[in-house]
Structures are given as C-alpha cells and as structure tokens.
Amino acid sequence: MTFIHTIPPEQADEAVDEMYRRQQAHFGYLPNYARAFSHRPEVMAAWAALLASIRRHVAPRRFELATLAAASVLGNSYCALAHGKALGQWLDDEMVATIARGGEPGGLDAAERELLAFARRVAGDASRVTGDDVARLRESGLTDAEIFDLVAVVAGRAFFTKVLDGLGVEPDAAYRELPDPLCEALTVGRPIAGRDPEAGQGSAQSAAQQQLGGIEMMPAPPDQGESQGGEERGGQRQPA
C-alpha cells in the first residue's frame, strides 16, 4: 500500500486519530492517502487549507477538468481516478476517458479546451509555457486572476501527487467499482490497491505525453464546510 510504515488507527495519537476519523466519516472508509500523511498530520492540514484557498476561486467543473488533465500528465492514478469520477457530474464516461488519455472530447467550450491544453503544459514542463500560451487563455475569456488560479490548481496537484507516488501510495480499492473501461483509462500510473499491476497502467499516460508533442513527463484545514483532504460542494463530496 505504501513504501513506508504508517500509523494504524489503534496506535494513532490525538492529531492522527482526528484526521483518520474525519476521513472515515466523509468517505465511509479510511483512504490510503490519509495513512500516508499519518507521520505528519499537520502537513495534511496545510495541504487541505491550500487546496481550499485555491478551489474557492475556481468553478467546480473547471477545477475538475484542470485537475484530471494535470493528474494524467503527472502519471498519478489516485488523483486521476478521484477527479475523473468527480467529472462524472458533468461529462459521460467516454468524455472523461478521452481527457485522461490526452485527448479533447466534444462538448467543451473554447475556454475549457484551452484550459486543458494549458494545464497539461504546466504539469508536463512549466518552463516551456510561453506568453502565447497565456494569450490564448485570455482570448478564450479567462482573466489574469483566473489564469493564476489555473496554474495554482496544477502546481498544487503536483505537490500532492509527488507525495503519494514518492511513497508508493496506491489508489483505494473502492475505485474498482468504476466501469472497467473508465477505470482502465484513469489508471495512468500505479495500479489500484489489490489490482493486477499490468491492468491499465501507463496507457493513458503515454497518450497524454504524445498529445504534448514529446514533452517529458514527471511521474500529481479546513475551512467552513470543508475538511482535511476534501470539500463539500453542492451536496457532493469532492476529492482531495
């Protein structure tokens, strides 16, 4: 599940126990990513605060589009599965799978298409972003503040995915309940816990790399109404 030993619930101190209970209450199970933060629950709280401050300014659909695009390029199955599932509020499975594979599904507006391309470029190699890339976002209707928000969404996702992948954290077994074709498309890196490591791994990441024209990829406190690692929006639980 992880490359390091994590603190089991029965051995948790007050801070870790509080984090575990909060996660359990919201998801109905203790997600693997929470265990990975068990040695430093204050870092989890800081990540949750940062995430809340970023997504507060971003429309939910745009946030999920940018996050899935970034997670796919970063090769992180956990976030691709979580946010691909969340995108199901607006898009069908085929559209979500197309995004995970580095494509551009029909049904997106001009701003969303530019958003996807830009998020992928920032996630792949931010040093190759150009003024022309930003100009295209402006032309599609994004303000400079919204462009900042988009970069922050991707940069924040890079932090979280690097922590998870660097520690070998596998996506929760609960994601195996997704339809097989969607599950396979969203498994862009590490396999789901308890799943055959060969199943679906890497195919979507390779497609995302090709979409970016050969850019080398790197392996992505709560406020009121929010909790560590996630957020409530519109009555639905949002992933970390």
Q: In whole angstroms, what separates CA 108 from the centre of its chain?
A: 20
Structure tokens belonging to residue 143:
């303000």
d(CA 82, CA 60): 14
pLDDT of res. 200: 45
Close Cβ partners of 42 (under 8 Å, ≥ 6 residues apart):
15
pLDDT of res. 195: 64
Strand-pair category, 230-233 with 226-227 = antiparallel
> Class of 59-220 per CATH?
mainly alpha
Structure tokens belonging to residue 225:
């109404």
Summarised one tens digit per residue, pLDDT across range 112-126 is 999 999 999 999 999
Summarised one tens digit per residue, pLDDT across range 133-160 is 999 999 999 999 999 999 999 999 999 9
pTM of the model: 0.84
* DSSP secondary structure of 71-120: HHHHT-HHHHHHHHHHHTTTS-HHHHHHHHTT---TT--HHHHHHHHHHH
CA diameter of the chain: 54
Side chain identity at residue 57, one-letter code: H
Side chain identity at residue 83, one-letter code: H
Q: What are the 10-residue block averages of pLDDT along the chain, 240 residues in total? A: 96 98 96 98 98 98 99 99 98 99 97 98 99 99 99 99 99 98 98 69 43 34 41 60
